[in-house]
Structure 1
Amino acid sequence: MTPEQLRDVVRTAVAAAVDRGALSVEVPGEVVVERPKNPEHGDYATNVALRLAKPAGLPPREVAERIAEELRAHPGIASVDIAGPGFLNITLAQGALGRIAVQAVTAGEGYGHTAVLAGQKLNLEFVSANPTGPVHIGGTRWAAVGDALARLLETSGAEVTREYYLNDAGAQIDRFARSLLAVAHGREVPADGYAGSYIGEIAAQVLAAEPGLLDRPEDEQLQVFRKRGVELMVAEIRSSLAAFGVHFDVFFSETTLHQSGALEKAVARLREQGHVYEADGAVWLRTTDFGDDKDRVLVKADGEPTYFAADCAYYLDKRARGFDRVVIMLGADHSGYVGRYKALVAAAGDDPDEHLEILIGQLVNLLRNGEPVRMSKRAGTVVLLDDLVEAIGVDAARYALARASVDQQIDIDIDLWTRRTNDNPVFYVQYAHARISSVLRNAADLGLALGEAADVDASLLTHERENDLLRAIGEFPRVISSAAELRAPHRVARYLEELAGTYHRFYDACRVLPRGDEEATPLTTARLWLCAATAVVLRNGLGVLGVSAPERM
C-alpha cells in the first residue's frame, strides 16, 4: 500500500465514522500521511484527527479513537496507535507494505506520475540568454533546473510549454553587430562591445557566407553582421543546449513583437484600461497603482518603445496563446524586475498571484583545487555551459546544478564531481542503479526471473532493511508531487541520494541471490522484485533531472 493509497484509506475511514454517526464532520478532500521520524512509531502517521477535532466538537484523541476503530478493520493495516495529542500511527500489514515493490515494478515508467497539476497549462520561460554570446554558467543553471522543473510539472499532470525568449532587438544587438564588424576589419572592439574569441569565430563565419561583404557600404555590412551574427549565435546556443539535453518547444523572437504591431496593441490595451499617461514627452504605465516603486516608461520621448513595453506585449501574447500561468526563471541580477512585472500583470487585468510566477536563482561558482575558475577559452572571464560540460560531463553538471535550491548560491567543485567515489552525489546514485542492474543480470544468468506479479509473496519482506526500502519507494510519488508544487527539483535529487543509501544498506544486510548450490526460494523472488522496484524509482527520478541511469559503471 503506497502513501497515496493509504490517504484514500484514511479518508474512507473518516467517511465510515461519519456514516455510522461516530463523527459529525465534513470528510476532508485531502489528508496528510507522512513517514514518522522514528520507525518504532509505525510505517505512517496522520494528523487528520487533530484537524477534525474542532469541527467535530470533540477532543482530538477521542476523534482519533473513532477513526482508528475504522482503520483497524482494514485488511491492509496491522495496527493503529494513538500518540501525543491525537496523532494516528499506522503500521501496515506486512503484505500491504511489500506490495509497494510490486506496484512500482508494474507501473514502470509511470511510477511516480500523479495528476495533482492536471488541467494546468503552463508557459515555462527559462535560460533566455541574449543571443550575443554563448550560454554562460548562470544560464546553464537555469537550463538544468528549468528542464528538470518542466519534467516535474509534466510528471504531475501539467501541460508545459518550454519557451526561450530571444532578446534579438535593441541596443545589445547593435553592440554585438558593431563588435563583429570591428573584428572583421581587424579593428579593436568598441569599449561597450563584446569580447572573446567567439566574436572572431562568428565574424569569420559571416564573411565565409557573404563573400565580398567588406566591400559593401559599412551600414550595409552592419546590417548583415547583425542579422547573420544573431542567427549563428542562436544556432550555437540551441546546439549547446541540445547537447546538454535541453530542448525548447518555442524560441520566441522579440523582433516579432516590434514587427507585428504587438507593442502598439499592448499599449493601447493598457491605455483603454486607464493605466497609461503621458509626461515629459514619454508614454508611461502607472505601475505604482499596483505596488511598483515607480511608474515605468513604455515609449520614450524619441518614440522608441522600451524593453518594458516589449515585456507587456510578450506577457499578453502568452496569455492570448491560452496559458493559465506564466512562469519565468530569472537570475539574481533581475530580482528588481519582479515588482514591475507583477504590476504590469495587474494593469493588464490579471491576478499576479494566479497568472504569474517568477523564480529567482542565485549565482554559480566553478572551483578547481578550492579556487574559483574564471577563465573561458572563448569568452574571456565568463565560464560557459560548454566549459562546465567539458570539465565534469553532462550528467554531473545537470545533477550538480539541480541538486541545490535555486535561492542558494552554489559552488561546483570540479575535483568532487569528476570522482568515481561515493562522495560524488551523482556517482553515488548512478552506482546504486548500476549495482541493481548487475544483480538482475546475475539473476538472469542463474535462470531466475521476476515472474508474474500475482505470484510474488511480498509478505516475506519482513527484514528491517527491507521495510526501510519499501517505505522509501512508497514515498516517491509524494516527493515528485510536492517537488512540482514547490518548484523544487532539488528535493528529487536529495531523495534519490537517501534512496541509494537505503538500498546499499539493504544489500549489505539481505542476501538477494543464492550462493553455490543453494536453491532459490520465494524470498529470493521477493527480494528481486524489491531490487527491481528500487531501480525503477532511481531511473524515474534521474529521468526527471535529465540524468542517465547507467546499467554498468
Structure 2
Amino acid sequence: MTPANLADTVLSAARAVFETRGLDVALLPATATVERPRNPEHGDYASNLALQLGKKAGVVPRELAAALAEELGRRDGIKSVEIAGPGFLNIRLDAAAAGALARDIVLAGEAYGRTDRLAGEHVNLEFVSANPTGPVHIGGVRWAAVGDALSRLLRTAGAQVGTEYYFNDAGSQIDRFARSLLAAAKGEPAPEDGYGGAYIAEIAADVVKAEPGVLSQDDAAAQETFRRIGVELMFAEIKKSLTEFGVRFDTYFNEKDLHEGGKLQEALDRLREQGHVFELDGATWLRTTDFGDDKDRVLRKSDGDWTYFAADCAYYLDKRKRGFDRVVIMLGADHHGYIGRMKAMAACFGDDPSKNLEILIGQLVNLVRDGEPLRMSKRAGTVVTLEDFVEALGVDAARYALARYSSDSPIDIDIELWTKAGNDNPVYYVQYVAARTANVARNAADLGLTRGDADAFKPELLSHEKVNALLKSLNEYPDVIVRSAELREPHHVARYLEKVAGDYHRFYADPECRITPMGDEEINDRHVALLWLNDATRTVIANGLALLGVSAPERM
C-alpha cells in the first residue's frame, strides 16, 4: 500500500465517520496527510487528521481519533491503529498490504513515483545561460546538473515545464570577445579587458578558416566578422558540451531578439501603463523602490541605449506572454543583489512576485585533487570548465556529485573520492545496487526462478525485519519526488537513493533474505516474493537515478 493509497483510505474512513455522526462532510480536506513517524516503533504511518478536524467539527480530537481508528480497523490492509497524545493516529499495515508494494512498483515501472501534485502549473525554468564568450565553467556546470534534474522532477510531479537558455549575444562582453578573437588571429596580445585562453586562439583560427579574407578587412569590418562567426562557433561548442553532459533545452532564447523585435519598447510601454515609469535627467527609470528594491532602476539611458535591466524586464514579460505562470531563474553566487530588483520588477508588471517569479542562487564549486583546488583549465586558462569536470569524473559521477548537495551550499568535489570504486563513493554505492539487482535477476533466471504471474504473487511472505525496512524505504519514493520538486531541491533524491541502497545492501547480506535457492533447495513462493522485491528495488533506483540524469548500469 502506497502513501497515496493509505491517504485515500484515511480520508474515506473520515468521510464514513462524519456521515455516521451527522457531521459536515464539507469540512473534510481534499487529501489526508500520512507521514512516517520518527520512531518506527510508533507504527508504519501517522496521521493528524483528527487533530486537524476535531475543533472544526465540534468534536474532541481524541474522541474523533477513536472513531477513525475503529473505522480504519475495518479496512483492508490495516493491521492496527493506535491513538497517541491528543489525537494522533499511529497506523500499522498488515504484511500483505505492505508486501503488495513490491508488485505495484514492478508493474508501474517507470511510472512509479509520478504524481499530479503540480498539475496545472506552467513553469519556465532558465538555467546555465552562460555568456557565449568562453566554455561553460564549473559554476555553470552545477546549474546544468541541478537545473536539468529539477526539470525532470517538476515534470514527474505533474508540472508542465519549459527549459530555457538565455543566449546573451548582445552587449559589451560580446564586443570584448570579438576584439579578443581579432587580436588572436593577428598574433597580438589579448586586449586589456579581453578574454584569454587557448580556446580564443582555436575559435579565431576557425573563423579565419570559415572566412579566409577576414584579416584583409579593416578592423571594424573584421571585428564584426569575428563577432558574427565567433559567437556562432562558441555557442555551438557550448551546446555540444551540454548535450554530451545530458542536458538539452527546449528553448534557446537570443537576447538580440529583444532588441530587434520591439520587445524592449513593449515592456517599457506595459510598465508605463502600470504607472511605475518616470523620467529623470534625460533617462527613463522604473520606480522599483515602491516594491522594496534598494534603489530605482534605469531602463533607458540619456543617450538612448537600453540597459541590461530593460532586457531583463522584456525577457520576463516575454516568458509570461508565452503562457508560463511561474518563472524560475537559476543564478550564480554573485547574483544575490539581483533578487530584489527582479522581484520588484515583477510587481511593477502587476504580478505577484511570491507566485510568478522564483530566483534560485547557487553557491561555488571547487574541484579538488589531493586536498588542493584545481583552478586552471587546459583550454580556458583561468577556470575549470565543463569538459575538465567530465574528463576528471565522468558524466554520471559529475552529475550525481553536483546534484547531491543543496545548491545554496558551497561544495568541494574530491576527484579521488568520486572516481573510486568503493562504498564511500556515493554514486558507486547507488549504482552498485542497480547492477546487483540486475545480476540477481539474471542468476535467478538461470536457475529457473522468475516472478511469474502477478496474481500468484504472495505479498504476505515478505515479512522480515530487513524486508520491512526496504519496503518502507521504497514506499517513500513518491513523497520524496513531491517534496524535492516543491522545494526545488534535487539533492533529496540523491540522499534518498543512498538510503534505499543501504537498506538493500543490508537485506541482500542477510542469509534469511536470500533470493535464489541454494544447492538442491526447491524454488518456493517466498523466493518468488523476494525476487519481486529485488526487482522493485531496481525500479526505484533506476527511476531515481534517471531524475538526476545518471545511468542505472546492469553490470559493474
Q: What range describes the TM-score normalised by the shorter chain of this pair?
A: over 0.9
Match of 1:108 in 2: 109
Match of 1:128 in 2: 129
| Structure 2 residue matching 1:466: 3-state secondary structure | helix
CA distance in 2, matches of 1:155, 1:82: 35
Whether the 8 Å CA contact 2:164–2:250 is kept in 1: the answer is: yes
Q: Can you list the C-alpha shifts for 1:175-231, whole angstroms capped at 9, x where unaligned?
A: 100111111111111111111111001000000000121011110000000111110
**Equivalent position amino acid for 1:527 in 2:** L
| Structure 1 residue matching 2:476: 3-state secondary structure | helix
CA distance in 2, matches of 1:24, 1:513: 54
1:56, CA displacement in angstroms? 2.9
> Are 2:345 and 1:351 equivalent residues in the alignment?
no
Whether the 8 Å CA contact 1:416–1:424 is kept in 2: the answer is: yes
Match of 1:552 in 2: 555
| Structure 2 residue matching 1:51: 3-state secondary structure | helix
CA distance in 1, matches of 2:452, 2:168: 56
| Structure 1 residue matching 2:133: 3-state secondary structure | coil
**Equivalent position amino acid for 1:10 in 2:** V
* Structure 2 CA distance for partners of 1:90 and 1:23, relative to 1, 3 Å: farther
1:80, CA displacement in angstroms? 0.5
Alignment of structure 1 residues 24-39 onto 2, 5 Å: 26-39=27-40
1:500, CA displacement in angstroms? 0.3
1:297, CA displacement in angstroms? 0.4
**Equivalent position amino acid for 1:454 in 2:** D
Whether the 8 Å CA contact 2:82–2:90 is kept in 1: the answer is: yes
Match of 2:490 in 1: 489
Match of 2:119 in 1: 118
Match of 2:406 in 1: 405
Q: Which moved more, 1:75-84 or 1:520-529?
A: 75-84
Q: Can you list the C-alpha shifts for 1:212-259, whole angstroms capped at 9, x where unaligned?
A: 210111100000001111101100000000000000011000011111
Q: Can you list the C-alpha shifts for 1:149-187, whole angstroms capped at 9, x where unaligned?
A: 000001011111110001110000001001111111111
| Structure 2 residue matching 1:365: 3-state secondary structure | strand
Whether the 8 Å CA contact 2:449–2:516 is kept in 1: the answer is: no
1:359, CA displacement in angstroms? 0.7
1:23, CA displacement in angstroms? 5.1
CA distance in 1, matches of 2:283, 2:314: 18
| Structure 2 residue matching 1:33: 3-state secondary structure | coil
* Structure 2 CA distance for partners of 1:304 and 1:275, relative to 1, 3 Å: same
Match of 1:11 in 2: 11
CA distance in 1, matches of 2:285, 2:106: 59
Match of 1:184 in 2: 185
> Are 2:222 and 1:221 equivalent residues in the alignment?
yes
**Equivalent position amino acid for 1:548 in 2:** S
Alignment of structure 1 residues 419-458 onto 2, 5 Å: 419-458=420-459
Match of 2:529 in 1: 526
CA distance in 2, matches of 1:33, 1:246: 35
Q: Which moved more, 1:452-461 or 1:15-24?
A: 15-24
1:290, CA displacement in angstroms? 1.2
Match of 1:283 in 2: 284
| Structure 2 residue matching 1:122: 3-state secondary structure | strand
Q: Can you list the C-alpha shifts for 1:509-535, whole angstroms capped at 9, x where unaligned?
A: 111100111101000000000000000
Match of 2:46 in 1: 45
1:515 pairs, out of 518, 527, 531, with: 518
Alignment of structure 1 residues 191-270 onto 2, 5 Å: 191-270=192-271
Q: Can you list the C-alpha shifts for 1:433-479, whole angstroms capped at 9, x where unaligned?
A: 11111100001111111111111001101111111111111111111
CA distance in 2, matches of 1:534, 1:511: 15
Match of 1:329 in 2: 330
Identical-residue share of aligned pairs (%): 65
| Structure 1 residue matching 2:530: 3-state secondary structure | helix
**Equivalent position amino acid for 2:503 in 1:** T
Match of 2:76 in 1: 75
| Structure 2 residue matching 1:349: 3-state secondary structure | coil
CA distance in 2, matches of 1:23, 1:535: 46
Whether the 8 Å CA contact 2:361–2:408 is kept in 1: the answer is: yes
Q: Can you list the C-alpha shifts for 1:7-51, whole angstroms capped at 9, x where unaligned?
A: 000111111110000755611222221112222211111111222
| Structure 2 residue matching 1:505: 3-state secondary structure | helix
CA distance in 1, matches of 2:482, 2:496: 13
Match of 2:311 in 1: 310
> Are 2:292 and 1:298 equivalent residues in the alignment?
no
**Equivalent position amino acid for 1:376 in 2:** S
1:326, CA displacement in angstroms? 0.8
Q: Which moved more, 1:60-69 or 1:220-229?
A: 60-69
Whether the 8 Å CA contact 1:22–1:66 is kept in 2: the answer is: no
Which ranges in structure 1 are unaligned for 5 or more consecutive residues? none
The TM-score normalised by the length of structure 2 is 0.98
**Equivalent position amino acid for 2:346 in 1:** V
Whether the 8 Å CA contact 1:457–1:522 is kept in 2: the answer is: yes
CA distance in 2, matches of 1:104, 1:22: 39
CA distance in 1, matches of 2:289, 2:44: 53
**Equivalent position amino acid for 1:383 in 2:** V
CA distance in 1, matches of 2:387, 2:32: 46
CA distance in 2, matches of 1:141, 1:50: 43
CA distance in 1, matches of 2:391, 2:372: 18
Q: Which moved more, 1:440-449 or 1:521-530?
A: 440-449
Match of 1:272 in 2: 273
Whether the 8 Å CA contact 1:325–1:356 is kept in 2: the answer is: yes
Q: Can you list the C-alpha shifts for 1:465-519, whole angstroms capped at 9, x where unaligned?
A: 1111111111111111111111110000000000000011111111110011110
**Equivalent position amino acid for 1:257 in 2:** L
**Equivalent position amino acid for 2:159 in 1:** A
Q: Which moved more, 1:99-108 or 1:319-328?
A: 319-328
| Structure 2 residue matching 1:335: 3-state secondary structure | helix
CA distance in 2, matches of 1:158, 1:24: 33
Q: Can you list the C-alpha shifts for 1:124-161, whole angstroms capped at 9, x where unaligned?
A: 00000000000000000000000000000010111111
CA distance in 2, matches of 1:451, 1:291: 64
CA distance in 2, matches of 1:231, 1:136: 18
Whether the 8 Å CA contact 1:23–1:63 is kept in 2: the answer is: no
**Equivalent position amino acid for 2:521 in 1:** E
**Equivalent position amino acid for 1:498 in 2:** K
Whether the 8 Å CA contact 1:7–1:32 is kept in 2: the answer is: yes
CA distance in 1, matches of 2:367, 2:430: 22
Match of 1:338 in 2: 339
CA distance in 2, matches of 1:144, 1:341: 24
How many residue pairs get matched?
Answer: 553
1:58, CA displacement in angstroms? 3.4
CA distance in 1, matches of 2:43, 2:262: 64
**Equivalent position amino acid for 1:544 in 2:** L
CA distance in 1, matches of 2:406, 2:31: 27
Match of 1:463 in 2: 464
| Structure 1 residue matching 2:526: 3-state secondary structure | helix
CA distance in 2, matches of 1:267, 1:190: 35
CA distance in 1, matches of 2:360, 2:129: 14
Whether the 8 Å CA contact 1:72–1:78 is kept in 2: the answer is: yes
Q: Can you list the C-alpha shifts for 1:329-379, whole angstroms capped at 9, x where unaligned?
A: 011101110111111111111111121111111111111111111111011
| Structure 1 residue matching 2:118: 3-state secondary structure | coil
Match of 1:504 in 2: 505
CA distance in 1, matches of 2:206, 2:451: 57
Q: Which moved more, 1:518-527 or 1:351-360?
A: 351-360
The TM-score normalised by the length of structure 1 is 0.99
